[in-house]
DNA sequence: ATCATAGTGTACGGTATCGTACGGATCGTA
DNA sequence: TACGATCCGTACGATACCGTACACTATGAT
């Protein structure tokens, strides 16, 4: 068993003043985040919020007919479970681990107490939520106007930014579920990007060869979201 | 000149306890909201928040190439300018009046003061923001999976819910801009819905003939959003 | 070494929307 | 009542993605 990761790999926790963080660190619980683990189901009361350190969580909506679409992705820059402090307690979407790793979790009530104490955590959480809002909005725009190739690049880059590695463990089948398209569509998009020499993949392992090339190929949506995250939550 | 409308046509203002509302009402300013008026531009510091009484505001993202897409719509159920109290001050999107009417506005700083006093307004604003989040998420999903016919119906119903009338003043050109499609596409969708006897329109005037019929034809996205607004902000 | 399985490649007709072009209808205004 | 402007209808080839079907290949288990 590997040792627990540093909680402050999570940017929100890292941004807290030492005092506040010390308080938090006593309350948080280290948890594994295996691929595919479901953190929340739509409409079900959430028990915890999760601060990923090196895992990635996908927020996705699953429709009545079974098709799905990712609406946002959360990694070490944020927190899963904003609806707890926003007051809704539940959301109509689902939270699934998209890239395995670890996270620290906190009982919902404890986070709410902290939030309503109006300490430094409150501002952080609110600004993060606004960034999340931007990500969702931009996903809507991207779904409307951009090609699958571009959306695939956006998805890759958003995921990469939330990992320390340049390799993703992810089958085309799963990516298709996130993007809300057919698996065959992803095969083609990924094939194009591979032919261009930007990535290499085989059986669920995607290796980034040319990140700059990806950034040239992606639509503007990626930069809009990234810029907004950097603006709202500077290092 | 018609007399100023009752501010409490706005549901957020109406939900405030008498005391808090009395305080607010002294600070708010009545403004006209003519069709097409731009309230915010992307990246520009916002000066006011707007509480619509009978107007509708569209939040839309305009892309580099000039194409656009609506990411959410705000009427008397909410407030325009959540990024002020969320802490971001700006957003990458644009706010345009989509249906003429009136609103009450409040200087940004005054709303922030109120928000951080943690009175009843704070909870309202947070829950409203979560509802807005849901609307954006569902827009993303709808853009991905549903036909233009269904999206047109969703747009109609979301707009209707924010008006007291059963008539919309809206050209197909403008609707196309909101939905992020060609004007001709809207002509076809609207034609289909009219053939089905659900609406009647001519030169920018859309009259709803059969609202129940619309609700049968729309995709699930409409109900998801409506249910979530009702849950988070009950009358 | 064999085999089942998960993951990927390819193909092909079907469909919704696009881009573009142009014609017709209705309205406000002179 | 004539005219320009706005708004809407229609048409047609192009294209991106879908739905479906099936074959191939790397991997892990036995």
Chain B interface, mutation test: which of A72, A126, A141, A218, most B Cβ atoms within 10 Å?
Answer: A141
Q: Are residues B67 and B181 in the same domain?
A: no
Q: What is the pLDDT of residue A1?
A: 53
Q: What is the pLDDT of residue A48?
A: 97
Cβ atoms < 10 Å from Cβ of B64:
8
Per-residue CA distances from A85 to A116, B116, B123 (Å): 8, 15, 10
Q: Is the CB of B195 under 7 A from strand D?
A: no
Residue of B nearest to A132 (CA): B133
Does residue A114 lie within any of the structural domains? yes
Q: What is the pLDDT of residue B1?
A: 52
Could you give the CA distance from residue B168 to residue B206 in angstroms, rounded to a whole number?
Answer: 5
Q: What is the pLDDT of residue A4?
A: 77
* Structural domain count, chain A: 2
Does residue A232 lie within any of the structural domains? no
Q: Is the CB of B6 under 7 A from strand D?
A: no
Could you give the CA distance from residue B231 to residue B220 in angstroms, rounded to a whole number?
Answer: 17
pLDDT for A68 beyond 70: yes
Does the distance separating the beta carbons of A59 and B137 come in below 8 Å?
Answer: yes
Q: Are residues B20 and B111 in the same domain?
A: yes
CATH code, domain with B68: 2.60.120.10
Could you give the CA distance from residue A225 to residue A228 in angstroms, rounded to a whole number?
Answer: 5
User: Do B178 and B152 touch, CB atoms closer than 8 A?
Assistant: no
Chain B interface, mutation test: which of A40, A65, A136, A222, most B Cβ atoms within 10 Å?
Answer: A136
Q: What is the pLDDT of residue A235?
A: 80
Q: What is the pLDDT of residue B221?
A: 98
How are the residues of chain B apportioned to helix, strand and coil, as percentages rounded to the nearest 5?
A: 45, 20, 30
Does residue A167 lie within any of the structural domains? yes
Q: Are residues A40 and A94 in the same domain?
A: yes
Backbone φ and ψ for B102, nearest 5 degrees, come out as -130, 165
Could you give the CA distance from residue A221 to residue A145 in angstroms, rounded to a whole number?
Answer: 10
Conformational region of residue A153, where left means phi above 0, alpha means psi within -120 to 50, and beta covers everything else: alpha
Does residue A42 lie within any of the structural domains? yes
User: Do B58 and B69 touch, CB atoms closer than 8 A?
Assistant: no
Which 8-state DSSP code applies to residue B6?
A: P
Does residue A138 belong to the interface with chain B, where contact is any CB pair within 8 Å? yes
Cβ atoms < 10 Å from Cβ of B23:
13
Closest residue, by C-alpha, to the C1' of D18: A182
Does the distance separating the beta carbons of A140 and B88 come in below 8 Å?
Answer: no
Does residue B126 belong to the interface with chain A, where contact is any CB pair within 8 Å? yes
Of B81, B69, B132, give the one whose Cα is nearest residue A219. Answer: B69
Q: What is the pLDDT of residue B235?
A: 81
- Residues A139-157: tens digit of each pLDDT: 999 999 999 999 999 999 9
Q: Residue A3: which residues within 8 A CB-CB, separation 6 or more?
A: none
User: Do B219 and B152 touch, CB atoms closer than 8 A?
Assistant: no
Does residue B140 belong to the interface with chain A, where contact is any CB pair within 8 Å? yes
CATH code, domain with A172: 1.10.10.10
The beta-carbon neighbor of A136 closest among B82, B136, B145 is: B136
Q: Are residues B137 and B152 in the same domain?
A: no
For chain B, list residues with pLDDT below 50: none
Q: Are residues A122 and A53 in the same domain?
A: yes
Backbone φ and ψ for A28, nearest 5 degrees, come out as -80, 160
Per-residue CA distances from B153 to B100, B190, B218 (Å): 21, 9, 5
Does residue B36 belong to the interface with chain A, where contact is any CB pair within 8 Å? no
Q: Is the CB of B178 under 7 A from strand D?
A: no
pLDDT exceeding 70 applies to what percent of chain A? 99
Q: Is the CB of A193 under 7 A from strand C?
A: no
Could you say which of B121, B142, B163 is where a domain stops? B142
Q: Residue B82: which residues within 8 A CB-CB, separation 6 or more?
A: A130, A133, B49, B125, B128, B129, B132
Could you say which of B92, B121, B142 is where a domain stops? B142
Q: Which domain holds residue B83?
A: 7-142
Q: Are residues B102 and B152 in the same domain?
A: no
- Residues A11-58: tens digit of each pLDDT: 999 999 999 999 889 999 999 999 999 999 999 999 999 999 999 999
Does residue A116 lie within any of the structural domains? yes
Q: Are residues B160 and B53 in the same domain?
A: no
Q: Are residues B51 and B133 in the same domain?
A: yes
Of B171, B131, B139, B137, give the one whose Cα is nearest residue B155. Answer: B139
Does residue A223 lie within any of the structural domains? no
Q: Are residues A33 and A76 in the same domain?
A: yes
Does residue B196 lie within any of the structural domains? yes
Per-residue CA distances from B168 to A200, B1, B79, B95, B234 (Å): 52, 22, 21, 19, 25
Q: Are residues B203 and B131 in the same domain?
A: no
Q: What is the pLDDT of residue A5?
A: 85
User: Do B35 and B100 touch, CB atoms closer than 8 A?
Assistant: yes
The structure's pTM equals 0.96
Q: Are residues A191 and A114 in the same domain?
A: no
Find where tokens 């709808």 sit: B142
pLDDT for A86 beyond 90: yes
Q: Is the CB of A29 under 7 A from strand C?
A: no
**B10 in helix, strand or coil?**
coil
Does residue B194 belong to the interface with chain A, where contact is any CB pair within 8 Å? no
Does residue B24 lie within any of the structural domains? yes
Could you say which of B92, B119, B142 is where a domain stops? B142
User: Do A105 and A51 touch, CB atoms closer than 8 A?
Assistant: yes
Of A137, A182, A66, A210, give the one whose Cα is nearest residue B63. Answer: A137
The tokens for B80 are: 């325009």
User: Do A74 and A59 touch, CB atoms closer than 8 A?
Assistant: yes
Of B95, B119, B87, B90, give the one whose Cα is nearest residue B22. Answer: B119
Q: Are residues A74 and A178 in the same domain?
A: no
Q: Residue B196: which residues within 8 A CB-CB, separation 6 or more?
A: B213, B217
């Amino acid at each position: 068993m590997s040792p627990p990761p540093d909680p402050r790999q999570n940017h929100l926790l890292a941004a807290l003043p030492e005092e506040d963080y010390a308080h938090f660190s006593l309350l948080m619980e280290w948890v594994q985040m295996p691929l595919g683990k479901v953190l929340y189901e739509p409409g079900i009361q959430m028990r915890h919020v999760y601060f990923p350190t090196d895992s990635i969580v996908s927020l996705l909506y699953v429709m009545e007919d079974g098709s799905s679409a990712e609406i946002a992705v959360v990694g070490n820059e944020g927190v899963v479970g904003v609806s707890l402090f926003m007051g809704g307690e539940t959301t109509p979407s689902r939270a699934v681990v998209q890239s395995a790793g670890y996270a620290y979790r906190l009982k919902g009530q404890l986070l709410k107490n902290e939030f309503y104490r109006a300490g430094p955590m409150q501002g952080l959480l609110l600004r993060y939520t606004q960034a999340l809002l931007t990500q969702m909005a931009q996903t809507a725009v991207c779904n409307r106007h951009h090609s699958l190739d571009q959306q695939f690049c956006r998805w890759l880059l958003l995921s990469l930014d939330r990992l320390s590695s340049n390799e993703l463990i992810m089958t085309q089948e799963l990516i298709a579920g996130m993007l809300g398209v057919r698996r065959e569509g992803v095969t083609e998009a990924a094939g194009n990007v591979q032919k261009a020499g930007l990535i290499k993949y085989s059986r669920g392992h995607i290796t980034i060869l040319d990140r700059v090339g990806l950034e040239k190929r992606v639509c503007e949506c990626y930069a809009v979201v990234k810029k907004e995250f950097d603006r709202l939550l500077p290092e």
